Amino acid sequence: MALAGRKLKVNVSTDGTSFSEVLQLNEATMTNEGDNQDVSTFGSDFIQRLQGLKDSSYSLNGFYDPSNTAGQVAIRDAWLNNTPLYVQFLPDGESGFEQEVKVSSYEVTASAEGTVEVAIEVEGSGAISAV
């Protein structure tokens, strides 16, 4: 079953319990990776792998909204103050994934012929869970 991208929601929290939506986003990506290790030995005909550490990262893009204090501003403040931040990535708007994250990039850009935009990168810190 295909999902409409417009239903996706990204929520953030500074305490891991009370989440608020990050407003004005128009593009969001969640990337999950596993650090696969080659464990092949002499005599192997094919590579054998063992998955090591897992990693998750999130890219959030949209229109800059300084009035979104519990969303965009909370992300900026977590970056400025190196404080805890939790993200919920909900592809259908209701269920998805939750993880503690660290903000690695908070970028605001503008052009004379365009709008003021925000680009945010956060990286997982610890296990990811389904919500």
What's the per-residue H, E or C state across 31-95? EEEEEEEECCCCCCCCCCEEEEEEEEEEEEEEECCCCCCCCHHHHHHHHHHCCCEEEEEECCCCC
**Per-residue model confidence as pLDDT tens for the chain (131 residues):** 888 899 999 999 999 999 999 999 999 999 999 999 999 999 999 999 999 999 999 999 999 999 999 999 999 999 999 999 999 999 999 999 999 999 999 999 999 999 999 999 999 999 999 99
Domain 5-31+50-130 CATH class label: mainly beta
**Residues 2-23: tens digit of each pLDDT:** 888 999 999 999 999 999 999 9
Chain mean pLDDT for the chain: 96
Task: Assess contact for 95 and 38: CB atoms under 8 A.
Answer: no
Q: Is the Cβ–Cβ distance between 63 and 24 less than 8 Å?
A: yes
Helix (H) or strand (E) holding 117: strand 117-124
Domain ranges of the chain: 5-31+50-130
